Amino acid sequence: MIAAPDAPLPTPDAAAVPAVELRGIVKRFPGVVANDGVDFDLRVGEIHALLGENGAGKSTLMNVLDGLYRPDAGEIRVLGRAVEFRSPRDAIAAGLGMVHQHFALVPTQTVTENVLLGLARPRLRLDLRHFDEEVADLARRHGLAVDPRARVWQLSVGEQQRVEILKMLYRGARILILDEPTAVLAPQEAADLFRTLRAMVAGGSSVVFISHKLGEVGQIADRVTVMRRGRVTAAGVATRTTTPAGLARLMVGREVVEAIERSPFAPGPVVLRLRDVAAESDRGLPALRGVSLEVRAGEILGVAGVAGNGQSELAQVMTGLRRCTAGSIVVDGGEVGNRAPREAIGRRVAHVPEDRTGVGTAPDLSVADNLIMKSYREPPVARRWSIDRGAVRRFANRLREAYAIAAPSVETEARLLSGGNLQRLILAREIASEPRLMVAVQPTRGLDVGAIATVHRLLLDQRAAGAATLLISEDLDEILALADRVAVIYEGRIVGLFDAAAADVATIGLLMTGGSATPAAAPGDAGRSVP
C-alpha cells in the first residue's frame, strides 16, 4: 500500500468527478471565523491556486481538508466519496498529502529515514540501502533531486521541501497540497518545483497551490480560487482569463497600486562599515570570505544572491548572533562584530530574521510579549527592573492597529497567528524600535500584495528618516525597486556592486549564479565590480 497509489487512476469518465470537493466549510477559532462557508473544487489533473490576504483562511481550509482540523460545519468529498478525516494519516490513506508552511523533518536523520518515518515498514532498520534506492528512484522519476543518504540538517530549504514532497509521494499521494511552497525558494528552485508539479499533473495527480506571488500563479496554475476574510470571492477562475492586477483586486477588494515614491537619494554619513568579514556556516564551512560593504544613512543597500551564498550568515554576524572569524563590523563608530547581540541592539540595529518561528518570535508567548522583545529594557515598557503591564498592553495594541496584525487580542499566543501576520508582528516590532540600521532578510516573505506594498512604503519612510538599510533578498525585483545600490553576493563574496538606477538585470543575474560581469556592464563610480 505504501508506494503504490491507493486512489484509483482517473479514467476518462472519472475525470468528471472532482478530486476534491469542499462544501460549506466553517471553521471557527476563539475570536475569529477562519472559514465561513467555503466551497472549493479541485479537478483531477489540474493545478489549482488558492489566493488570499494574510489571515484569509487559506491554511486553515487546507488543514481542514488534510484532517488536521475538524470543520465546525460542511462536507468534504475526495474523488466523489464523502470523507471524514480524523488525522493527516487518514488523509494520506485516501491519497491526499499536504506540505506545510513550516516543515516537520527530523534534522539528524537521513532523507530516507525521514521519508520512512512513521510507516509500518521497515520494522527493523536492517536494509536501509534497499530503501535508499527506492527513494532515489522515486526522486528521479519526479525530478526531485536530493541525496537519500544526506542528513536533513545538511540540506538547503529547497531540498528539505523536496523531502517533504517525497514523503507524500512515497505514501502514494495523488492529491498534493502545497502551502506557500515558493515562499522559501530561490527563483531557480521554484522553476524546478514547477517542472515537477507539471509532470505530476500530466500523470493524473492534482495539486492545490497556495501562494502570494501573483505572477507565478498565472504561470503555473490552471485555475485560481480567491479567499477574503474566510469567504470565497472568486471560485475556480481560469488563470487564462486573469491578470496579476485583477487577482490583486479580488484579494484585497480594491485596486492595489504599488506606486513607490522615493525621495531623492541623499546619503548621510556611513552607518555600517564591514571590513574583510569572514564567518563560518553551521556546518563549519566558510560562509563569508572577506566581505567589505558600507551603508550610509538614508540609503538602502540591496544584497542580491541565490539563497545559501552567505546571506543568512551576513545578517547574523552583524547582529551578534554569529561569530566572525576575521574582519570588523562597525556601526556608528562602534564595533559590533563578535559582541553580544545586546551591543547591536543598543546601537539600534534592527533585524528582521530569516527564521520567523525559530528566531524572530517565541511561539508560546503572547503577541504582546513578542512585541516587546526589543523594547522591554526601556521606558515606557520598563520601569527600572519591573515591567509596566499597562504600558505593555498599550504599546502592543498600538502596534497591532498600526500594522494591522490580525489577532483576536494581544494576549493571543503568537503561534496561533497566520504566517503573514507573524511576519507583520516582527516588522512592527523592528520598525517601532526606530533603528539606525535595519538588517532585513526577506522582509516580505509570506506577505500578501497589499502588505508588501505597505512594508515597502515603511522601508522607504525609514530611509527618508535617515536610517541605513541592508536589504537581503532573493527577489531581484524587490531589490531593484527599493535599493539605492545593489551588491551581489556569491559564495560568500561580494562579486558586484552597482547603482540601482543603472543596474542591468541580466548582469546581476549572471553574477548571482557565478558568472562574471563584463566591465562594460558595470557602469558608474559605485558600480565598480569588486573582485
Provide the binding-site residues for another protein, judged by CB under 8 A.
29-30, 68-69, 86-89, 92, 98, 100, 104, 117-118, 319, 321, 340-342, 344-346, 351, 353, 358-365, 369, 372-374, 376-377, 382, 385-387, 389
- Interface pick for ligand ATP out of 58, 296, 351, 436 (rule CB under 6 A): 58
Instruction: State the binding partner of 321 from ligand ATP, Mg ion, another protein, none, CB within 5 to 8 A by kind.
Output: another protein
Contact 247, 226 (CB under 8 A): yes
What are the cell numbers at 169? 509521494
Instruction: State the binding partner of 417 from ligand ATP, Mg ion, another protein, none, CB within 5 to 8 A by kind.
Output: ligand ATP
Element (H, E) at 482: helix 476-482
Rounded CA-CA distance 477/304 in Å is 10
Rounded CA-CA distance 292/98 in Å is 43
Instruction: State the binding partner of 385 from ligand ATP, Mg ion, another protein, none, CB within 5 to 8 A by kind.
Output: another protein
Q: 390-429 mask for Mg ion (x: CB under 5 A)?
A: ----------------------------xx----------
Q: Which is nearer to ligand ATP, 8 or 408 (CB)?
A: 408
- Give the residue among 458, 52, 34 at the shortest CA–CA distance from 252: 52
| Angle, CA of 332, 338 and 339, to the nearest 5° | 65
- Per-residue DSSP letter, 110: B
Q: Is 473 in the site for Mg ion (CB under 5 A)?
A: no
Instruction: State the binding partner of 153 from another protein, ligand ATP, Mg ion, none, CB within 5 to 8 A by kind.
Output: none
Q: How many CB atoms are closer than 10 A to CB 357?
A: 14
DSSP SS3 for 397: helix
Least distance from C-beta 385 to another protein, angstroms? 5
Contact 49, 221 (CB under 8 A): yes
- Interface pick for Mg ion out of 7, 53, 59, 453 (rule CB under 5 A): 59
Rounded CA-CA distance 17/15 in Å is 5
User: Which of the residues 416 through 445 are near ligand ATP (CB under 6 A)?
Assistant: 416-421
Q: Which is nearer to another protein, 81 or 129 (CB)?
A: 81
- Give the residue among 232, 217, 262, 252 at the shortest CA–CA distance from 449: 252
* Piece in contact with ligand ATP (CB under 6 A), picked from 57-65, 133-141, 199-207, 266-274: 57-65
Q: Which is nearer to another protein, 21 or 369 (CB)?
A: 369
Q: Which is nearer to another protein, 241 or 386 (CB)?
A: 386
Least distance from C-beta 527 to another protein, angstroms? 35
Number of residues counted as binding ligand ATP (CB under 6 A): 19
Instruction: State the binding partner of 421 from Mg ion, another protein, ligand ATP, none, CB within 5 to 8 A by kind.
Output: ligand ATP
Backbone angles phi, psi at 409, to 5 degrees: -160, 170
Q: Is 18 in the site for Mg ion (CB under 5 A)?
A: no
Q: How many CB atoms are closer than 10 A to CB 155?
A: 19
CB-neighbour burial class of residue 81 (10 A; exposed 0-12, middle 13-18, buried 19+): exposed
Least distance from C-beta 155 to ligand ATP, angstroms? 23
Rounded CA-CA distance 46/512 in Å is 33
* Piece in contact with Mg ion (CB under 5 A), picked from 54-62, 187-195, 349-357, 388-396: 54-62
DSSP SS3 for 131: helix
Least distance from C-beta 34 to ligand ATP, angstroms? 4
The torsion angle over the Cα atoms of residues 447, 449, 453 and 456, rounded to 10 degrees, is: 40
Radius of gyration of the chain (CA): 24
Instruction: State the binding partner of 55 from Mg ion, another protein, ligand ATP, none, CB within 5 to 8 A by kind.
Output: ligand ATP
Q: Which is nearer to Mg ion, 59 or 309 (CB)?
A: 59
Element (H, E) at 112: helix 111-116
Rounded CA-CA distance 286/293 in Å is 18
Q: Is 217 in the site for ligand ATP (CB under 6 A)?
A: no
Q: SS3 helix, strand, coil % of the chain, rounded to 5?
A: 35, 25, 40
Closest residue to ligand ATP, based on beta-carbon distance: 420
Least distance from C-beta 477 to another protein, angstroms? 28
Q: Which is nearer to another protein, 130 or 342 (CB)?
A: 342
Q: Is 60 in the site for Mg ion (CB under 5 A)?
A: no
- Interface pick for ligand ATP out of 49, 60, 185, 489 (rule CB under 6 A): 60
Backbone angles phi, psi at 477, to 5 degrees: -60, -45
Least distance from C-beta 35 to ligand ATP, angstroms? 8
**Would you list the DSSP string of 149-184?**
TSBGGGS-HHHHHHHHHHHHHHTT-SEEEEESGGGG
Residues in contact with ligand ATP by the rule CB under 6 A: 29, 32, 34, 52, 54-60, 406-407, 416-421
Residues in contact with Mg ion by the rule CB under 5 A: 59, 418-419
